[in-house]
Structure 1
């Protein structure tokens, strides 16, 4: 009967519901006592604002709880006439519980402070609702001590007379915040002593407390941006800028684990040991937003598996086993892990394509002038600290740059313009700061100005040095990711390819790195292959055999797909086709084409086989025509594959037919005319 708090609700919303009409008064009474007991437990919790109002409301509800317990203990039965009063009281107490939950949240204290007037109004409205519910309670029909009735009467009088107003200290803190935000808009540095008083008022004496609210505010901005009105985006953005500034400037150290990682709970430790690939749907390869489990025990994103079922496939995509039922069970534990992973890594959870495009658009500019100037000031401060601070200050600056640059294109622009790139490059040689510095460079390399700043500051050789000799695996994989983004520019692809250490270092990361490191190295190589001269360098580095090791192990479908993309690109040139043919793995490629659930992997398989028939000679075609399952796979691509996969499958089918038709009439000069070859892009 007790309404459980909805963990997915928005803050300052109260989704309370009326009890059902036919509920017994005794059942409703038990639920009311439990609710009031829960509310009274909030007395010991910290309220950053509206302390006086919260304590007074809890005190009055405590008196009501005693009265309700008296009714429970002294009455053998309750008249039906109590249901109306109990129902209204139940509704009000539910809302009270939601309100107190928000008031005691440790990640929304500044936001609740800025909403002090609204919160005080809610206390006033809800306490009046309790008074009204008690007013219609038929006390004459309830057997309870007169003292208890008098206590309830006293509460009713007090609820009408008590003035739920904003605390004076709250008002002063709000005025300071508003003044600082106006100062930001005018490019005036805030008074740090004033900021410290505000932070002390809300209990933010540690870096991690400030960081938690930044994450909360960013999530609220995401919600507001999909609303039509977007009424609160400006204030939310301004407060985010303010707290980012405070996090960077007001705290000397990052509390938590060594290496400047924020304080984490046990669940965070669990997330750190999981691979993000475990969060991807085996069908779409995207991070799941609504994971569900089918009868075989395998988990998929709900939208993907439902689409699979609607296509008339009552089987498990991973095992091929026919399902007795197409019912699915929500995997709530996995969903919570994914939500936490996304929160800790700055990834928006549950975005549709439309939502993602909006989020990208909003990160190009700040949500308000105050947020814009606050970030510029913070970027300037971080640049100075990264350049000339103590060892600890430089390391913290590198970590802050890493964190700030992760979530916003605008933030990256501010940091690049503040001149942080040369300072981060110098920190690559610092044992304490290397990982944070290269992670910051990775984020900044996603910005066009960031790419230019890295290359113009001589950063390619320094990043390659970290890739080859990084002190931590994480530093190596961040370096590979940086090279991938730099390789999106033609002249930088040439520069990276000409570095004699770059491609061999990427090869070693493929051989010995983590799954994330291998992924970054593979996509970096794929990006480099867009420049023709890098084909020869990749082949000379011995990358091809490693790619087939990945295909044979099939530990990760994402890595398999990336490996196939590289092989298909290499096979476009005769020397690449020859190197691939030497590995004698045609059966392996056909097997992946037959078994993979990834449309992208299947398309790359077809592209690879098509390129091999064009550039690998008659021996390749002769082996392919002997494969009993190949033709069926190719025909399935005609109807199930992408338009490109369908065209390439059609070309490959024609090539195989031509080979079979001409075997009896003599050799042919070309298995597949050059103009039929479709290049992989």
Structure 2
């Protein structure tokens, strides 16, 4: 009950200590205090401290001396007065905070951050050590059955604690100043001294690319947490340090070492295995049914989008929307794991999707480096990397293109800097590489960069369309092919390029090959790219003449993932908007198959695409289509469900389809079926 577990997600430099209950048994409190003191002294001996080393050595020495006293009085016959219990309780609270700080300063992934917080940590330790002296001051040692030697030790500890022999260490301050000097260089566009860079890395014990990369991952998580806070006081510093570590990783380290290890950082570190088993419905807010941009968890354990649950509470509700359970506490806890998954699902290199919502998309596109120093560092890195791409050795090129892949993954500012530095032509050249790793990284980097508007123009003007299509068809690895398909999707978002892509004769056949042979990610990118091309009307006949409809219908019968089924139906529904597309779908005898999918699916997007498809088939297919739907009475249940719970647009289409079915049934019963179907029934 009294021991603090650090299994929960604790923010760095937060010390959520808990005061022992007033009714706790003194013997239990003393035992817990001894265990806590032993943990601190053992942890210091077994772990490396990267800043405030001398201070922690002094603190643990004091606690070690106190431990002798605590153990002796536990084994003795002393009875504990209220003053003793109060002192033990205060020491227990103080020791918890010291342990938290000790954990933070020994965190191997947060060395740079803890160095920059060395003054704050030393201030905290000084206050905690003084609090130890105050807690000991209330103990009347003459009333305790312990040896005179132990009493002398306690008296010494009290005097030293109250004396406050804790302060900022010279070595920490010296390295701290060097970091600030480097950041000032970034701010004014001056390349920092190599000796200063080496000194900082040596002091922090960062010797490998992977260690630097882990520091960056920690800083990224802290930036996310700080951006969600109200004050955001450390956001600028964190961004500057991220720029510094980016410079270290890209410029200082010549090699990334084992490429297999790097792949683990790049892929498994981003929850790819988890994401591959999810689809967009898993990220929907139960209230708005939209993808959650800021997921938060309430007391019942259910997660909602912050804006939606706040509206729920402001409307006077005090229950969980999903369970109906009365909420005693309305606190909202940011669900960072879900936020990371949503972000990764939408931004991952292998997926082209726009489901983050317009608000989040605008926010990302407007993002900046976060500080002047970070901006300067990234610009220097971009120029350096481009130089290695153009004139570097094979290994330097391999490292450079991998760095670009990582840098462009989620930051629009990084993307803009790299594009301005001129990396696009070099990346296009690497698409022709016979090295599968270089080709895959170049393909993934281009996918990430194609989210930046200027990239599309540069890519097309440098003959990139044919190169990207060639990778989709002949890429050395499936990953390269799927990334290339994603790149084509983003290029097709521009109407002018959508036309150019459609005019290339082998575009649709190449995408169809990927649909047949590809992994889930490859299939998804091929589908959304075809859907994007269909936004240009003249591409409809190209897609139909290539035989996409039979292929999609065959896929529908074999696909297990609801999101792929949804994408297939979206393409079919778009084709069905035109008469020729509807006829091609009906000629393939797909109506019963579509009705069956609509009846059994539980996914909202699948149902909505099914309704759109059925409605357009009715409009363009005539009475024969409606007659089939009229005979299928089970169709009405999911239609009315969608009318009640679907999006407004889907509700309107469901309403139109219901009206068509009812009017057809009524008029066929009265023998009034002489007019063409589209004159009689369409009221969309």
| Fold similarity call, TM over 0.5 | yes
What SS is found at the alignment partner of 1:39? helix
Select which of 402, 405, 412 maps to 1:399: 402
CA RMSD of aligned residues (A): 3.4
Separation (CA, whole Å) in 2 of partners of 1:491 and 1:521? 20
Select which of 608, 611, 619 maps to 1:614: 619
How far off its partner does 1:619 sit? 2.2
Name the counterpart of 2:54.
Answer: 52
Q: 1:345 to 1:119 in 2, by over 3 A?
A: farther
What SS is found at the alignment partner of 1:406? coil
In the alignment, does 2:679 pair up with 1:673? Answer: yes
In the alignment, does 2:30 pair up with 1:29? Answer: yes
Name the counterpart of 2:237.
Answer: 235
What pairs with 1:483-494 in structure 2 (closer than 5 Å)? 483-494=488-499
Could you list the per-position Cα deviations for residues 85-107 of structure 1 after superposition, in whole angstroms to 9, with x for gaps in the alignment? Answer: 01100110010011111111112
Name the counterpart of 1:278.
Answer: 278
Q: 1:256 to 1:262 in 2, by over 3 A?
A: farther
What SS is found at the alignment partner of 2:168? coil
In the alignment, does 2:534 pair up with 1:529? Answer: yes
Select which of 219, 223, 226 maps to 1:224: 226
How far off its partner does 1:247 sit? 0.9
Name the counterpart of 2:94.
Answer: 92
TM-score scaled by structure 1? 0.87
Name the counterpart of 2:12.
Answer: 11
How far off its partner does 1:289 sit? 5.6
How far off its partner does 1:30 sit? 1.1
Separation (CA, whole Å) in 2 of partners of 1:258 and 1:530? 40
How far off its partner does 1:558 sit? 1.2
Select which of 377, 392, 396 maps to 1:389: 392
Separation (CA, whole Å) in 2 of partners of 1:136 and 1:230? 40
What SS is found at the alignment partner of 2:513? helix
Q: How many residues align?
A: 649
Name the counterpart of 1:574.
Answer: 579
What pairs with 1:256-405 in structure 2 (closer than 5 Å)? 256-258=258-260, 260-261=262-263, 268=268, 271=271, 273-278=273-278, 281-282=281-282, 284=284, 286=291, 357=360, 360=363, 364-405=367-408
Structure 2 residues not aligned, in runs of 5+: 285-289, 314-321, 328-334, 349-354
Separation (CA, whole Å) in 2 of partners of 1:59 and 1:26? 24
Select which of 198, 206, 217 maps to 1:196: 198
Q: 1:146 to 1:255 in 2, by over 3 A?
A: farther
How far off its partner does 1:151 sit? 1.6
How far off its partner does 1:338 sit? 6.1
Separation (CA, whole Å) in 2 of partners of 1:671 and 1:343? 46
In the alignment, does 2:655 pair up with 1:650? Answer: yes
On the 8 A contact 2:186/2:377 being kept in 1, the answer is: yes
How far off its partner does 1:672 sit? 2.3
In the alignment, does 2:545 pair up with 1:545? Answer: no
Name the counterpart of 1:332.
Answer: none
How far off its partner does 1:228 sit? 3.4
In the alignment, does 2:460 pair up with 1:458? Answer: no
Separation (CA, whole Å) in 2 of partners of 1:161 and 1:25? 29
Could you list the per-position Cα deviations for residues 455-507 of structure 1 after superposition, in whole angstroms to 9, with x for gaps in the alignment? Answer: 11111111111111111121111111111111100111112122223222222
How far off its partner does 1:406 sit? 1.3
What SS is found at the alignment partner of 1:261? helix
Separation (CA, whole Å) in 1 of partners of 2:643 and 2:553? 26
Separation (CA, whole Å) in 1 of partners of 2:233 and 2:630? 64
TM-score scaled by structure 2? 0.87
Q: 1:104 to 1:408 in 2, by over 3 A?
A: same
Separation (CA, whole Å) in 2 of partners of 1:395 and 1:189? 24
In the alignment, does 2:480 pair up with 1:475? Answer: yes
In the alignment, does 2:596 pair up with 1:594? Answer: no
Name the counterpart of 1:313.
Answer: none
Name the counterpart of 2:351.
Answer: none
In the alignment, does 2:155 pair up with 1:150? Answer: no
Name the counterpart of 1:411.
Answer: 414
On the 8 A contact 1:210/1:247 being kept in 2, the answer is: yes
On the 8 A contact 1:571/1:611 being kept in 2, the answer is: yes
What SS is found at the alignment partner of 1:229? coil
On the 8 A contact 1:621/1:656 being kept in 2, the answer is: yes
